[in-house]
């Protein structure tokens, strides 16, 4: 795991590129250690949209927190551009699954979106423009004076997305952002995410447990194994860039990719025990 610091391709060093190298995370409990993530190595190129899927309990959230700099990996490193991530880096925004807990309930929608910009020391006029633009692009131009808890779940997640894009991040991390909204809203938010990505061109790392969502959204799908986690498969999604809920999902290629990812995820659940049975790994 120490050898991974050696020569990496120069293209990785462009600003929005994300490199995860040999990341391992072990939680030390009282008399019990849990290896949540064993050895994760992958890169996401600048401006790419990669989805991470894996069975539940695969350490997806642990991985995302390590990437976001919220959690220090036990070993290995995460690099954003040419800098090592040691705390939440500037230029990275996160959208959490729990929209109800990630918006400040004592601030209006507008103030929620504006707050990170104040921290970035952006001038007042420019802040106002960015907030208005971001709310407009998620379809909430009329909501800046409302409080988050006055909005529906889907709208609250839109506010969180608006806050993230107003921040003008190079990398946007999304941790199962649509797992807690209804199916209709979810489809809308998926399309919103893709259109924002295409418009703004930031790197997006999207964690989900939903295989359909991963294939529909991603340019790439990384399949994680069950915990202790490794990257099991890296699949290129060669669907047209212009995606649409009905027609894209009806494409034969979509079904093929979906089946392939599904197969990998099924295999991921028993990845370690199968390896152990083959005598190549250790028993969990």
Partner 1 sequence: MSGMTGTKTKGAESRAGRGLRLLRSGAVHLAYLLGLPAALLALWWVLAARSTNFYYPTLDEILAAFAETWFSERIVDDVLPSLGRLAAGYLGAAVIGIGLGVLLGTRPRIRALLEPVLEFFRAVPPPVLIPVLMLVAGIGDTMKIVVIISGALWPVLLNTVEGVRAIDEVLSDTARCYGLTGTARLRRLVLPGASPQIVAGLRQALSISIILMVISEMFASSSGLGFTVVQFQRSFAIPEMWSGILLLGLLGFALSLLFALFESRVLGWYRGLRQSQRGEK
Closer CB to partner 1, 70 or 255, in the complex: 70
Least Å distance, CB 169 to partner 1, is 10
With beta carbons less than 8 A apart as the criterion, state whether 135 and 143 touch.
Answer: yes
Least Å distance, CB 88 to partner 1, is 5
What is the contact mask toward partner 1 in residues 47 to 66, using x (rule: CB under 8 A)? ------------------x-
Quick check: 150 binds partner 1 (CB under 8 A)?
yes
Instruction: For CA atoms 62, 66, 72, 78, give the dihedral sign.
Output: positive
Please identify which residue in 88, 139, 201, 284 interacts with partner 1, judged by CB under 8 A.
Answer: 88
Quick check: 254 binds partner 1 (CB under 8 A)?
no
Q: Would strands 49-53 and 75-80 be described as parallel, antiparallel, or unpaired? A: unpaired
Please identify which residue in 80, 85, 94, 161 interacts with partner 1, judged by CB under 8 A.
Answer: 94
Please identify which residue in 101, 125, 252, 278 interacts with partner 1, judged by CB under 8 A.
Answer: 101
Output the six-digit token pair for 138: 């998620």
Compute the distance between CA of residue 112 and CA of residue 166 in angstroms, rounded to an integer: 11
Q: How far is CA 1 from CA 6, 55, 180, 225, 234, in A?
A: 11, 25, 36, 19, 20
Quick check: 92 binds partner 1 (CB under 8 A)?
yes
Q: Which of residues 175-214 bind partner 1 (CB under 8 A)?
A: none
- H/E stretch holding 38 reads strand 33-44
Output the six-digit token pair for 252: 């034969």
Quick check: 113 binds partner 1 (CB under 8 A)?
no
Least Å distance, CB 69 to partner 1, is 8
């Amino acid at each position: 795991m120490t050898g991974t610091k050696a020569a990496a391709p120069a293209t990785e060093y462009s600003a929005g590129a994300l490199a995860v190298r040999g990341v391992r995370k072990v939680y030390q409990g009282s008399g019990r250690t849990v290896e949540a993530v064993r050895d994760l190595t992958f890169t996401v190129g600048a401006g790419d949209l990669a989805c991470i899927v894996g069975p539940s309990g695969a350490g997806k959230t642990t991985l995302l927190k390590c990437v976001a700099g919220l959690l220090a990996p036990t070993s290995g490193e995460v690099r954003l551009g040419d800098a090592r991530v040691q705390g939440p880096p500037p230029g990275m925004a996160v959208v959490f699954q729990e929209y109800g807990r990630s918006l400040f309930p004592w601030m209006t929608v507008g103030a929620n979106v504006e707050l990170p910009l104040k921290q970035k020391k952006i001038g007042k006029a420019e802040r106002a423009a960015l907030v208005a633009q971001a709310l407009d692009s998620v379809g909430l131009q009329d909501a800046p004076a409302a409080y988050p808890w006055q909005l529906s779940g889907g709208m609250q997640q839109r506010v969180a997305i608006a806050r993230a894009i107003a921040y003008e991040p190079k990398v946007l991390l999304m941790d199962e952002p649509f797992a807690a909204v209804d199916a209709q809203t979810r489809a809308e938010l998926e399309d919103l995410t893709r259109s924002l990505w295409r418009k703004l061109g930031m790197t997006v790392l999207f964690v989900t447990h939903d295989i359909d969502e991963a294939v529909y959204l991603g340019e790439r799908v990384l399949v994680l194994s069950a915990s202790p986690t490794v990257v099991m498969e890296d699949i290129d999604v060669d669907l047209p860039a212009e995606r649409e809920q009905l027609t894209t999902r009806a494409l034969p290629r979509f079904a093929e990719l979906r089946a392939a990812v599904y197969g990998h995820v099924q295999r991921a659940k028993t990845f370690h025990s199968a390896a152990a049975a083959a005598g190549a790994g250790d028993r969990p």
